[in-house]
Chains A and B, each alone.
Chain A
């Protein structure tokens, strides 16, 4: 079974605070799901090597929105959703703290 430390490590990576009880139930749930999905390891990959993935990224130029698309002119509505707004700015916490 997946260890308590592993679940806590994953929760830290995923920025999720978990209660002790939830860590425990996740140990059971995640272990049984992983056991099931582990079936994929039975897949034999052909000797010719891995198959090229079908999906690829499509890039576009970073240009201003065209006036006809539905995002045009929605800046204020987007700002209105900021949890903490100062003028037109989204006020956020300091990320880098000075050494004390």
Chain B
């Protein structure tokens, strides 16, 4: 592939924009050319916005104005980004890749969009995803699967697979995703990108289509750790419209110890041997950089996936109760009101969404509540305490982001085997800790070189530790 401006990282592009070597319009056009070439086969974007060039021109005008006023331009001014289809942009469709919201036009901006607009970002389009963010492969979209740009026979991961494919295929310089159980980090691992799930509450979810409200976070998918940091710093902060948001001072600053925790007991089985070999290689290199490796024990981590697949469906089924065909979204008529609901929801929701609604309804039913949801809540607290304790002595806990590289389209057909892909990512959502996936090398499958990621988890509010260690790993070579 010839080099194009679309291959630049955000940091590199911002530098060139500042030096007036390129314009925002050049950048947007470079991405649009790649979109033209590859989106039909990748299906990364569900919609490319017709006014992308106009937005870029406006960004260029704003840069000229900033210069006239001797104002420092925002590092994201004029940067073309892709937005996951479950984040609301006023006046544009936000479908969550569901028939339920296929024609739903957002009536307001999500807070993250408001912030990106203020920074002067160019929105290229909305990206494909697993329907309502339920899945780990982007095969559950009502509008067809997304393909991995590094091997089109494979999935890009999910649920933010369209965002990941857009960035990895150079159809955007960066993207926003959402992460409820790994939906930013797993696609980052599968597509060779950096993906951040911020601390619970660090970024407002107002205007993001809710899945599991005690788990959801919005975060960036980017080509470098520096890029993820720029986007995170733009998005973070208290929002009166999301009462779970926290300020920067919520958690006390922590000293760096140059110590990395490795929960070896979790890696004894279930991880592909070559993925583990890459992981160990990175750890060895970190040691030569002066990092000390410490064994950490998370005795309840073995229960994390079970806990997650109780809490998430419980919260999702509750959140999805709002799709009642009455106020917005798909609306079908039955013989009475109850049938209106049941018909619209059956036609609007795909099979995985229906499955999780049934599961969530089950675990919340009287008689099962204590055994499932009640127990899961206790286990979640125990796990949180264990992670917090482990992080008292180390800067970050590291594991492979996923047990394997990108799987083939159609390979994981039964739901439980698909859920097992989330084994290492769900913990950070349950405990609220920030977690970052960074590329850690490649493995080979059927002659194809596929990337794999390493996941770093830091203490609440300590994204800085993730960026610091993430840059170290990124630059190990």
Contact = CB atoms under 8 A, between A and B. Distances in A.
Interface of A: 2, 6-7, 10-11, 13-18, 22, 26, 29-30, 32-34, 36-43, 45, 50-51, 53-55, 58, 60, 66, 69-71, 74, 77-78, 80-84, 90, 92-95, 97
Contact of A69 (B241, B321, B362, B419): B241
Contacts of A16: 342, 345-346, 349, 354, 357-358
B379 A43 contact: yes
B190 interface: no
B375 A43 contact: yes
B384 interface: yes
A30 B358 contact: yes
B357 A14 contact: yes
Interface string B92-135: 00000000000011011101001000000000000000000000
Nearest to A69: B241
B290 interface: no
Contact of B317 (A14, A40, A95): A14
Nearest to A65: B241
Contact of A60 (B243, B351, B378): B243
B382 A40 contact: no
Interface of B: 90, 104-105, 107-109, 111, 114, 207, 214, 240-241, 243-244, 300, 303, 305-307, 309-310, 317, 321, 324-329, 331, 336-343, 345-346, 349, 351, 354-355, 357-359, 361-363, 365, 371-372, 375-379, 381-382, 384, 414-416, 419
17 contacts: A13-B361, A15-B321, A16-B346, A16-B357, A29-B416, A30-B355, A32-B414, A37-B309, A37-B310, A40-B372, A51-B381, A78-B107, A83-B326, A84-B331, A92-B326, A95-B337, A97-B336
A66 B239 CA distance: 13
A17 to B, nearest CB: 4
Chain B at the A interface: SS class: helix
A67 B331 CA distance: 32
A30 B416 CA distance: 10
Contacts of A54: 381, 384
Contacts of A41: 371, 375
Contact of B416 (A13, A36, A77): A36
A26 B353 CA distance: 12
A69 B240 contact: yes
Give the residue among B105, B306, B331 with the most A Cβ atoms within 10 A. B306
A45 B300 CA distance: 12
A52 to B, nearest CB: 8
A17 B379 contact: no
Contacts of A70: 90, 108-109, 111, 114, 207, 241
Contact of B243 (A34, A58, A80): A58
Contact of B310 (A40, A51, A81, A84): A40
Contacts of B342: 11, 15-17
A41 B368 CA distance: 11
Chain A at the B interface: SS class: loop
B162 to A, nearest CB: 24
Contacts of B357: 14, 16
A37 B201 CA distance: 27
A60 B107 CA distance: 23
B82 to A, nearest CB: 21
Contact of B415 (A13, A33, A69): A33
A32 B414 CA distance: 10
A81 B371 contact: no
Given A70-B207, A83-B326, 13 more contacts: A16-B349, A16-B354, A22-B351, A34-B359, A37-B309, A40-B372, A43-B378, A50-B378, A51-B381, A53-B381, A81-B328, A90-B327, A95-B337
Contacts of B416: 29, 32-33, 36
B225 to A, nearest CB: 29
B375 A30 contact: no
A41 B328 CA distance: 40
Contacts of B365: 10, 13
B108 A74 contact: yes
B244 A58 contact: yes
Contacts of A80: 105, 107
A63 to B, nearest CB: 11
B358 A26 contact: yes
Nearest to B317: A14
Contact of A40 (B114, B340, B379): B379
A50 B207 CA distance: 34
Contacts of A13: 361, 365
B358 A81 contact: no
B361 A10 contact: yes
Contact of B354 (A2, A22, A60, A83): A22
A11 B343 CA distance: 11
B377 A53 contact: yes
A6 B346 CA distance: 18
